[in-house]
Amino acid sequence: MADWADGRLGIYSLAKANMRKIFPDHWSFMLGEICLYSFIIIILTGVYLTLFFHPSMNEIVYHGSYVPMHGIRMTEAYASTLEISFDVRGGLLIRQIHHWAAVIFIAGMFVHMMRVFFTGAFRKPREINWLFGFLLFVLGMFTGFTGYSLPDDLLSGTGVRFTQGAILATPVVGTYISMFLFGGEFPGHDMVARFYSIHILLLPGIMLGLVVAHLILVFYHKHTQFPGPGRTNKNVVGMPLLPVYMAKAGGFFFLVFGVIAAIAGMFTINPVWALGPYRPDQVSTGAQPDWYMGFAEGLIRVMPGWEINLWGHTLVLGVFIPLVVFGLMLVAIAVYPFIESWITGDKREHHLLDRPRNAPTRTALGVAWVTGYMVMLLGGGNDIFATHFHMSLNAITWFVRIAFFVGPVVAFIVTKRICMGLQRRDADKVLHGRESGIIKRLPHGEFVEIHEPLSQDQLYSLTAHEQYTPAEVGPSVDENGVERKVTRGQKLRAKLSKGYYGEGNQVPKPTAEEYKEITSGHGHH
């Protein structure tokens, strides 16, 4: 049987390279798996839902089994969602698994991306894979948005209305895009059908391709690992795919599916029956998008209402600027690996991960970005936070406006200080050993704490990281006394490099000489 397949597919050669492939074990390396598995769960449940959902905006009068909607006019899309929820056995469960898995999928991608960022796993050779992951995150957001808009309920319809308003704010072409997207004036009769094909075909199709490419690259590059005894940049230490990783990763799929299924069985998500069908003249307070659009919502909410009218045209800055900032915040994470590799000028492959503390500037930048993101998430839920923490809506909005600028700066400074402190402690531990907590009294009465020297494993782990020296612009004249041309780019790079690796931006790791000097001396001071 295997021979038969090999003769046609060449499976032996494939298996030779991959069957005993080594994967390192660390919980944070499984975040990507959470995403992959929830993506698979979403596809499985999504296919089931398409069997019952009617992506149509034809209006009907409801006479189904949910009494509080009897006699209400609604689209077939909304009515069929009610039917899935109330008349299809297990339909509600599948709907809720689908939605919970989507919420977790994108949250998982966010955390996974942060893991990759803070450990420097995006460095060569993985920049392309970082971009694939980034695209998956962004496409995931829009797939989610088009998905929760499909039931055509009052909440999601309000979200679509917002999207249409934001499209209108686009200079020059806004009205055209809006008319083309909605097939006329909002809401029109085409939105659900069009979002449906985008949601179930176009975006997931692209995403599936990207996921496959992402995984192929993970296999091809082999996984990164944290430094530790026996782990170098030229090897990968862990357990083989068959059997351990097969069992763990395969088992983890079932664990993820099981947890999500249980959550979907016990916790309501998006109870569309309570929301009512969409009508452009109705609305509810607490109108929020799903969490992954929350930071865009926050940007929109806290932006002052600037509008410029010039030469018979309107520039809707109050909406347009948040849209641009939304894009820029996303682009910033996409291009970061290229910026950092430009600053370091490092063209080597990196397979050993950084501990976040050992790259203080990068870590601080990342935390600053996350802070900005979280502040905007808070802004996106300002009304809910106002009522539940008994605060003024306006005060929260002002807080967010200020914190968006101040928060990341403070976070940057604080994070960098913390990283430096941790680096210092590591250096101290290497040179002086671990504080044992044992107090010894010396003959002359002095009390000292005994420091236990570290094991060789720990010494290696704590000193394995690389430290760059800042790039210099170089002398303004070369060795022949001819003036060198120094471009502005070079100057900028030197400046950034100094900010990353210059004095005061990293703690020099202990050298062997220092260590020998201290350990050959007596006493532990």
Partner 1 sequence: MSSQEIPEKNLPSEQDTAHGAVAVAEDPFADPGLPPHKPRIQDIDERAAKRSERTVALLFTLSMLATIGFIASFVAFPVDKLVYVWPLGHVSATNLSLGLTLGIALFCIGAGAVHWARTLMSDHEVADDRHAIEATPEVKAKVMADFADGARESVIGRRPLIRNTMFGALAMVPLSGVVLLRELGPLPEKKLFHTSWDKGKQLINMNTNEPLRPEDVVVGSLTFAKPEGLEEDDHEFNNKIAKDALMIVRIQPEDIKDKHELEWSHEGIVAFSKICTHVGCPISLYEQQTHHVLCPCHQSTFDLSDGARVIFGPAGHALPQLRIGVNNEGFLEALGDFPEPVGPAFWERG
Partner 2 sequence: MKKLSARRRHPLAAVVVLLLALAATGGLYAAFAPASKAQADETAQSLAIDEGKKLYAVGCSSCHGTGGQGTSDGPPLVGVGSAAVDFQVGTGRMPAQQPGPQVPEKRKVYSQAEIDQLAAYVASLGAGPITPTEEQYNPEGADIAKGGELFRTNCAQCHNFTGEGGALTNGKYAPSLEGVSPKHIYEAMQTGPQNMPSFPDTTMPEQEKKDIIAYIKTVNGEETPTPGGFALGGLGPVSEGLFGWIFGLGSLIAVAVWVAAHTAKAKKS
* Residue nearer to partner 2 on the CB measure, 161 or 509: 161
Q: Among residues 173, 216, 274, 331, which is the contact residue for partner 2, using CB under 8 A?
A: 274
- Binding partner of residue 346 among partner 1, partner 2, none, CB under 5 to 8 Å per kind? partner 1
Beta 313-315 vs 308-310: how paired, if at all?
antiparallel
> Binding segment for partner 2 among 221-229, 268-276, 350-358, 412-420 (CB under 8 A)?
268-276
For residue 168, give every residue at least 6 positions away whose Cβ sits within 8 Å of its Cβ, in sequence order, or none: 174, 175, 178, 316
Position 154 contacts partner 2 (CB under 8 A): yes
Position 290 contacts partner 2 (CB under 8 A): yes
For residue 275, give every residue at least 6 positions away whose Cβ sits within 8 Å of its Cβ, in sequence order, or none: 153, 154, 155, 284
Cβ pair 109, 329 in contact under 8 A:
no
- Binding partner of residue 170 among partner 1, partner 2, none, CB under 5 to 8 Å per kind? partner 1
Position 325 contacts partner 1 (CB under 8 A): no
- Binding partner of residue 50 among partner 1, partner 2, none, CB under 5 to 8 Å per kind? none
- Binding partner of residue 67 among partner 1, partner 2, none, CB under 5 to 8 Å per kind? partner 2
> Binding segment for partner 1 among 7-15, 133-141, 215-223, 324-332 (CB under 8 A)?
215-223
Buried b (16+ CB within 10 A) or exposed e, 51-64: eebbbbbeebebee
- Residue 45 CA to residue 280 CA, distance in Å, equals 30
* Residue nearer to partner 1 on the CB measure, 305 or 523: 305
* Residue nearer to partner 1 on the CB measure, 116 or 303: 303
Cβ pair 321, 303 in contact under 8 A:
yes
- Residue 440 CA to residue 451 CA, distance in Å, equals 11
> Binding segment for partner 1 among 132-140, 164-172, 407-415, 436-444 (CB under 8 A)?
164-172
Shortest Å, Cβ 328 to partner 1:
18
- Residue 473 CA to residue 487 CA, distance in Å, equals 9
* Residue nearer to partner 2 on the CB measure, 21 or 495: 21
> Binding segment for partner 1 among 45-53, 114-122, 263-271, 353-361 (CB under 8 A)?
263-271
CA distances from 184 to 171, 344, 504 (A): 19, 52, 60
Closest CA to 372 of 402, 408, 398: 408
Position 443 contacts partner 1 (CB under 8 A): no
- Residue 54 CA to residue 75 CA, distance in Å, equals 9
Shortest Å, Cβ 452 to partner 1:
16
Report the site for partner 1 in 459-498 (rule: CB under 8 A): 459-460, 463-464, 466-472, 487, 489-490
Binding mask 228-257 for partner 2 (x = CB under 8 A): --------------------x--xx--xx-
Position 405 contacts partner 1 (CB under 8 A): no
> Binding segment for partner 1 among 129-137, 201-209, 303-311, 405-413 (CB under 8 A)?
303-311
Position 155 contacts partner 1 (CB under 8 A): no
SS3 category, 513: helix
> Binding segment for partner 1 among 43-51, 182-190, 366-374, 411-419 (CB under 8 A)?
182-190
- Residue 124 CA to residue 293 CA, distance in Å, equals 31
Report the site for partner 2 in 291-330 (rule: CB under 8 A): 291, 294
Position 33 contacts partner 1 (CB under 8 A): no
Return the structure tokens found at 428. Answer: 């101290």
Position 107 contacts partner 2 (CB under 8 A): yes
SS3 category, 59: strand
* Residue nearer to partner 2 on the CB measure, 122 or 148: 148
- Binding partner of residue 271 among partner 1, partner 2, none, CB under 5 to 8 Å per kind? partner 2
Q: Rounded to the nearest 5°, which phi and psi values hold at 264?
A: -65, -25
Shortest Å, Cβ 377 to partner 2:
8
Report the site for partner 2 in 366-385 (rule: CB under 8 A): 380-384
Could you tell me which residues are beta bridge partners of residue 74? 60
- Binding partner of residue 345 among partner 1, partner 2, none, CB under 5 to 8 Å per kind? partner 1
- Binding partner of residue 30 among partner 2, partner 1, none, CB under 5 to 8 Å per kind? partner 2
Binding mask 4-33 for partner 2 (x = CB under 8 A): ---------------------xxx-xxx-x
Helix (H) or strand (E) holding 313: strand 313-315
Side-chain-side CA neighbours of 367 within 13 Å: the count stands at 20
Report the site for partner 2 in 30-49 (rule: CB under 8 A): 30-31, 33-34
Identity (one letter) of the amino acid at 413?
I
Position 192 contacts partner 1 (CB under 8 A): no
SS (H, E, C) 123-177: CCCCHHHHHHHHHHHHHHHHHHHHHHCCCCEHHHHHHHHHHHHHHHCCCCCHHHH
- Residue 277 CA to residue 149 CA, distance in Å, equals 12
